[in-house]
């Protein structure tokens, strides 16, 4: 489970995330929704301990992000929206490095990397340098790196960006398999059709504040007949002055 309590992040006078109280159940695929600049990425960066909160805290898998940051990092995988790769390395070399950083044995890294490279149809490219990879191929390598240590919690920021339709389908199937195995998947996206297909729980953030959280089926039931796009627009509509 992921729990935030008064989670806040300020950048000078800008309040990017404001007093966020959220409970995310374990073993689910959770959509973190919001317009550009809503605070989604900042929230993910705090939950993954990349950014310290200005106030409040959170627990990820039972570990406090402030007091037990190293334990949090051990149990999570993170695919950032603009993840960087060492372009001079081959895919194999990069994944070996990622696995070693996670403390995995070389044989274990090799076996898991081979499995995921086959899954994402990258086997024939594994000895090529990452500088030659397309945006979608790089995205897949970042996902594989996040999965190598079999995380209990998986955070993904716009994971479908750059993927073709076939690869989007395969990644969706992978996320469903991870959740079925008990992994908590938190998925930040603005592609609402994919959210409807994959996610069963929603956290909606608008201008840094929580607008709605709960199961997707309950969100739809409360707006009978409306599509997710219309529900999103209604919940993020500006209050009249």
Please list the pLDDT of the chain residue by residue as tens digits (241 residues).
899 999 999 999 999 999 999 999 999 999 999 988 899 999 999 999 999 999 999 999 999 999 999 999 999 999 998 888 999 999 999 999 999 999 999 999 999 999 999 999 999 999 999 999 999 999 999 999 999 999 999 999 999 988 999 999 999 999 999 999 999 999 998 888 888 889 999 999 999 999 999 999 999 998 887 889 899 999 998 654 4
DSSP letter string over 143-156? HHHHHTT--SEEEE
Report the C-alpha gap between 138 and 230 in whole angstroms: 33
- Mention every residue, 6+ apart, whose C-beta is less than 8 A from residue 190: 33, 34, 35, 36, 158
Global model pTM greater than 0.85: yes
Residues 240 and 75: beta-carbon distance below 8 Å: no
Q: CA 230, 235, 238 angle in degrees (round to 5)?
A: 110
The full set of domains in the chain, from first to last, is 2-84+152-235 (3.40.50.300)
- Whether the CA torsion 160, 164, 168, 170 is positive or negative: it is negative
């Amino acid at each position: 489970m992921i729990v935030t309590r008064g989670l806040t992040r300020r950048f000078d006078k800008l309040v990017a995330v404001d007093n966020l109280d959220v409970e995310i159940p374990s073993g689910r695929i959770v959509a973190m929704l919001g317009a550009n600049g809503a605070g989604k990425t900042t929230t993910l960066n705090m939950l993954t301990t990349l950014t310290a909160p200005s106030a409040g805290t959170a627990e990820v898998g039972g570990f406090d992000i402030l007091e037990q940051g190293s334990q949090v990092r051990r149990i999570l995988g993170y695919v950032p929206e603009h993840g960087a790769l060492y372009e001079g390395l081959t895919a194999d070399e990069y994944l070996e490095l990622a696995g070693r950083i996670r403390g995995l044995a070389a044989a274990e890294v090799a076996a898991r990397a081979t499995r995921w490279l086959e899954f994402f149809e990258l086997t024939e490219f594994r000895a090529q340098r990452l500088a030659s990879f397309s945006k979608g191929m790089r995205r897949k390598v970042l996902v594989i790196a996040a999965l190598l240590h079999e995380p209990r919690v998986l955070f993904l920021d716009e994971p479908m960006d750059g993927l073709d339709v076939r690869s989007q389908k395969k990644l969706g199937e992978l996320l469903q398999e991870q959740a079925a195995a008990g992994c908590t998947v938190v998925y930040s996206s603005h592609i609402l059709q994919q959210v409807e297909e994959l996610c069963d729980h929603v956290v909606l953030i608008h201008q840094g504040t929580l607008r709605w959280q709960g199961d997707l089926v309950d969100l739809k039931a409360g707006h009978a007949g409306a599509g997710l796009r219309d529900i999103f627009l209604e919940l993020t509509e500006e209050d009249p002055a």
